[in-house]
Amino acid sequence: MTDTVIRRTGRAGHVTLSRPKALNALNHGMCLEIEAALDAWRDDPEVALVMIDGAGGDIAEIYHQGRAGDYATGRALWRDEYRLNAKLAEYPKPVISFLHGFVMGGGVGLGGHVGERVVCESSQIAMPECGIGFVPDVGGSLLLARAPGRLGEYLGLTAARMGPGDAIHAGFADHFVPEADWPALKERLAATGDVAALAEAASAPPPASPMAAAQDEIDALFGADSVAGIRTALEGATGPIGEAARKAVGRNSPLSMAVTLEMLRRLRADGRDIRAALRQEYRVSHRIVEQGDFVEGVRAQIIDKDRTPHWRLAADEVTPAHVEAMLAPLGQDELAI
């Protein structure tokens, strides 16, 4: 069975990810297939809108290549995946993504930048990259930078999961529609080619957002400009948010967290767009397998599952020079999108 089901239904182009055993993780071939479909539908007068569902790159593949000293494979995947992310964000026709179940990493890149993002009761959205020695990518750094207050730092450094109400509050989603209503909604969108059907289906208020209720607490805990400052604020934190955040910041890659903070700072300071965010992310992904904690993080979390990564740098060893080295321009290898 193919990993990607691509078809035209009525007035809609329809992309469904179909790798349930891999939580719908995007691999390189899937990225290229989806991009080819988008290119074909862009100028097809019979296609009025695009729907994406089943949304969730394949980090295990990049891990094995990196262990073998092959850094080009991962870089090629990230280049093509980031180009797809930008194309979706700038697509001239309406794109509706249906974000159900676990939506992390590549799923956020595929469904998080389009014009209409739908969540339901089962939606659990996160950017867990710092836990595997990486950084929020696929344009996720831009979503984090635009989140209210210091919610972006909280989500990026801790990999906290957002339910449907949280995702809407944080700017990762737009509409809540009960999952039982999705089949009828998709049928109507395909039949009419009119996104107005979405507004009607999303007439009920979304579930409450625990993160919105805790916004002041999150802002206080993650208000510092450095990982060290955030650690200090978390030392005396009580309650479920503070305690969980302290554990996450204590176990995730110190280098990845420091780079993530700087990425968000730069995006906010310069008011950058999706392309600038992706170019910055690619500078890190270009280097992360060879020079960062990615291989060790994936080994500990995905391959061996011992959950005991041995990071290259301890928290007190990460310097501004280490961060700058990961974010420095790539010259002729800079991402071209």
Task: Provide the pLDDT confidence category of residue 185 given band limits of 50, 70 and 90.
Answer: very high
Domain boundaries, the chain: 4-333
* Residue 36 clears pLDDT 90, i.e. is over it: yes
| CA dist., res. 297 & res. 152, Å (int) | 21
pLDDT, averaged across the chain: 92
From the list 203, 121, 204, 202, the residue with the least C-alpha distance to 164 is 121
How is residue 214 written in tokens? 């805790």
At residue 56, the pLDDT reads 44
In angstroms, rounded to a whole number, what is the distance separating the alpha carbons of residues 140 and 263? 11
Provide the pLDDT for residue 28.
Answer: 85
Q: If you search the block for the tokens 């890659």, which residue do you land on?
A: 253
CATH topology of domain 4-333: 2-enoyl-CoA Hydratase; Chain A, domain 1 (3.90.226)
Q: Can you tell me the mean pLDDT for 244-254? A: 97
What DSSP element (H or E) covers 317? none
What pLDDT band is residue 271 in, cutting at 50, 70 and 90? confident
pLDDT computed for residue 55 by the predictor: 47
For the ranges 68-77, 253-262, 311-320, the lowest mean pLDDT is seen at: 68-77
Would you state the pLDDT for residue 58?
A: 53
Instruction: Over range 138-150, report the average pLDDT.
Output: 97
Q: 68: Cβ–Cβ under 8 A, 6 or more apart, which residues? A: none
Nearest Cα neighbor of 194 from 41, 11, 7 is 11
Quick one: tokens of 80?
């093509």
| Average pLDDT, integer, range 47-63 | 76
Per-residue model confidence (pLDDT) at position 23:
45
pLDDT exceeding 90 applies to what percent of the chain? 81
**Which residue pairs, CB below 8 angstroms and at least 24 apart, start in 329-335?**
329/283, 330/282, 330/283, 330/286, 333/286, 334/279, 334/282, 334/283, 335/79, 335/82, 335/278, 335/279, 335/282, 335/283
In this model, does residue 233 exceed pLDDT 60? Answer: yes
